[in-house]
Amino acid sequence: MNQPVAHPNRSLGIVELRIPSKAEWVAVARLAVAAVANRLNFSIEDIEDVKLAVAEACTNCIQHAHGSDQIEILCETEPEALTVRVRDYGHGTRPETIQSRRVDEPRVGGLGVFLIRSLMDTVEYDVHPERGTNLVMTKKVSI
Amino acid sequence: MDIKVNVRETQGDTYVVDLNGEIDVYTSPKVKDAIGDLIDKGHYNLVINLEKVRYIDSTGLGVLIGGLKRVREHGGTVNLVCTNPQIKKIFDITGLVKIFGIYDDEDAAMKALV
């Protein structure tokens, strides 16, 4: 039997999850990703950050990705970082139009993207009107 | 995952809303309904006790902001009780600490309403 060839840049682990695009499933996604994050040397505070960022990403899919009934979550673990991809296949809203912002006066909505950008180290959106939205975000293990 | 909501009347026309659990996109409508019912009945000075809340996301924050907006239209306010450092951090990074009165215990939150 062929043995896997070690590769220095290879991710240590990949975990994939697919949930229905419904509010009651967001808790499953955030807890699953928290369990993955717990495999790395994240602090409890960092794991809470990842949990919230994943939940916000899934919530955005549910609220803005019309026509998508599934959300795909893919976690890639490396020794010093966790990358989470959250993808839907709906007709999305561009993230800049969701009004990422800090609150300076009472106003409902628009906090989700701001929280994701605040809590994760890198955040990239790929929004396509036909293919849906692919959010890639990374949290590095604090030294 | 669920949220338990308990509403208590205290002295004066002040009501305390005790929340226990996790507030997210699924559970926040229950919190919104409880706060909305109080405001609909003319109660505009509220303390929302988050001491037993383990988790809150932007939809939960949105419910609190929406309640605050409504009571302010009537000269009222919403004070929060919160000691969980992770939740306080969320209020801090979103700037909501400037909008809500956030207190370590219920007595302080009640006194600040007067």
For residue A1, the model assigns a pLDDT of 45
Can you tell me whether residue B97 is helix, strand or coil?
helix
Which CATH number covers residue B86? Answer: 3.30.750.24
pLDDT tens-place string over residues B83-113: 999 999 999 999 999 999 999 999 999 999 8
Residue given tokens 């701001």 in the structure block = A114
A138 neighbors A116 (Cβ within 8 angstroms): no
Look up the CATH number of domain A13-140. Answer: 3.30.565.10
Domain-wise residue ranges, chain A: 13-140
Can you tell me whether residue B68 is helix, strand or coil?
helix
Domain count along chain B: 1
Residue of A nearest to B56 (CA): A52
Give the span between the Cα atoms of B80 and A23, in whole angstroms.
25
A118 vs B93: CB contact, 8 Å cut-off? yes
| Residue B95 structural domain | 3-113
B112 close to A (CB below 8 A): no
Bridge-based pairing state of the strands A13-20 and A132-140: unpaired
Mean pLDDT within A119-139? 90
Q: Where does B3-114 have alpha helices with state H?
A: 28-40, 58-72, 85-93, 106-113
Can you tell me whether residue B15 is helix, strand or coil?
strand
CB-CB: which of A23, A26, A103 is closest to B94?
A: A103
CA B38 to chain centre: 12
pLDDT tens-place string over residues B62-89: 999 999 999 999 999 999 999 999 999 9
For residue A127, give the amino acid letter: V
Number of Cβ atoms within 10 Å of the Cβ of B11? 7
The ipTM assigned to this model is 0.91
Phi, psi of B73 (to 5 degrees): -65, -20
| CB proximity under 8 Å: A 66-95 to B | none
